[in-house]
Amino acid sequence: MNDPAESLAVSAHVPAYAGYFADPFVLRTPTGYIAYGTVPSATPGASPPSDGRQFQMLTSPDLVHWTDAGGALIPLPVRLGTDYWAPEVAYRDGQYWLYYSLGHGDKGHHLRVAVADAATGPFVDTGVNLTPTEAFAIDAHPYRDVDGTWYMFYSHDVLVGPRVGTMLAVDRLATMTSLAGQATTIVRPDADWQIYQLARPMYGRVLDWHTLEGPSVVRHDSRYYCFFSGGSWKNAGYGVSWAESDHPLGPWHRVHDAPRILRTIGHEIIGPGHNSVTVAPNGTDVIAYHAWDADLTARLLHLSPLRWTSGGPRVDGFSGPELSNAVN
């Protein structure tokens, strides 16, 4: 079995790396791949990088064999936050830009950006809060369109509408360290599987809280697909779906009767979510995501081939007509 894509297909339900590795983002480089992931320091079972930096890095020549590459980000003062979530890296003009969220627990998170001359860092924070007007912003996803325009997709809290909670937004990246200030909510909760918690105390109220998070955008056949996670990452109902658009700014539409991209499969895959998409050495698309181990003590890195069909994107073993009733 010499083709890495074949190895991924066979081992789709087997973690690609044994250590704790949540919110995986995989960057393809001229010499291979670098994965960046969240490894929370206060979580039992997690082992943060020994070099004292935030965000674990892994390197691979083929998406199959992975090696620990240490930590990515030089940490900031504790007063700015203690919880570092969901790193993603973009390359522009000879520099690498790491976008992430920082806060205390599930309170007051905002988006930040760090920069380095190498893809493996060390990344140094630029001192910029990208979302100073947001009460809660996480899961930054920088996206470069075919015309060279950069956009920032992320999740933020919205308290109006029939289903309130954390939703997907987009803004234009005016520079790599500033947003245009024209953020728009693009995908809102529309189904019960996206409920995070009923009667959740939030913002001085008690609300049935929904969560859409982890946006990741791919352009395929001149159309844009925004993959996102929905529901509670603590529950087996957590899964990945998608919305479609003709332009990064929208309007974005979700196919309500379409199956999810990823979902729990017995004890093989538990609570898969927060994905990114990269390209395998043979040119096919691969989706990276985390899923819980059998003991529910760690979120582990998984990779699976992503197929494009007339009915939209699919991951074999997760999506198909037999799962359509599980969506809404």
Q: Is residue 38 one of the residues assigned to a domain?
A: yes
Q: Which residues contact 122 (CB under 8 A, 6 or more apart)?
A: 53, 71, 72, 73, 74, 116
Percent over 70 (pLDDT), the chain: 91
Total of domains in the chain: 1
Read off the pLDDT band of 284 (50, 70, 90).
very high
Q: How sure is the predictor about 145, in pLDDT bands with cuts at 50, 70 and 90?
A: very high
Question: CB neighbours of 43 closer than 8 A, spacing ≥ 6?
Answer: 20
Q: Answer yes or no: is 15 within a domain.
A: no
At 6, is the pLDDT very low, low, confident or very high (cuts 50, 70, 90)?
low
The reply to whether omega before 251 is within 30° of 0 (cis) is: yes
What whole-number distance in Å separates Cα of residue 206 and Cα of residue 209? 9
Residue 278 lies in a domain: yes
Checking if the pLDDT of 320 tops 50, the result is no
Say whether pLDDT at 265 is over 60. Answer: yes
Identify the residue whose tokens are 């538990």: 270
- Tell the residue number behind the tokens 């995986």, with chain if given: 24
User: 17 in a domain, yes or no?
Assistant: no
Asked if the structure places residue 275 within a domain, the reply is yes
pLDDT at residue 327 in the model:
29
∠ CA 99-103-108, nearest 5°, is: 110
Q: Give how far Cα 289 sits from Cα of 26, 35, 47, 273, 323, Å.
A: 10, 11, 19, 6, 19
Does residue 16 lie within any of the structural domains? no
Encoded tokens for 138: 């996480």
- For residue 318, being part of any structural domain is answered with yes
Does 326 score more than 90 pLDDT? Answer: no
Please give the model's pTM, rounded to 2 decimal places: 0.93
Structural domain span for residue 239: 4-10+22-326
What is the CATH classification number for the domain harbouring 58?
2.115.10.20
Lowest mean pLDDT among 43-57, 176-190, 303-317: 43-57
pLDDT of residue 319: 52
The amino acid that residue 55 corresponds to is F
Amino acid at residue number 257: D
Query: Mean pLDDT over all residues of the chain?
Result: 91
d(CA 168, CA 148): 22
Instruction: With a cut of 80, say whether residue 5 has pLDDT above it.
Output: no
Residue 324 has pLDDT above 50, yes or no: no
Asked if residue 322 belongs to a domain, the reply is yes
Tell me the per-residue pLDDT of 85-123, one tens digit each, with 9 for 90 and over: 999 999 999 999 999 999 998 778 999 999 999 999 999
Identify the pLDDT of residue 257.
55
Q: Would you state the torsion angle of the CA atoms of residues 257, 258, 259, 261, taken in this order, to the nearest 10 degrees?
A: -150
pLDDT at 55 over 50: yes
Mean pLDDT for 302-306 is 95
Q: Regarding predicted confidence, which is higher, 269 or 176?
A: 176
- pLDDT value for 177: 98
The position carrying tokens 């999810």 is 260
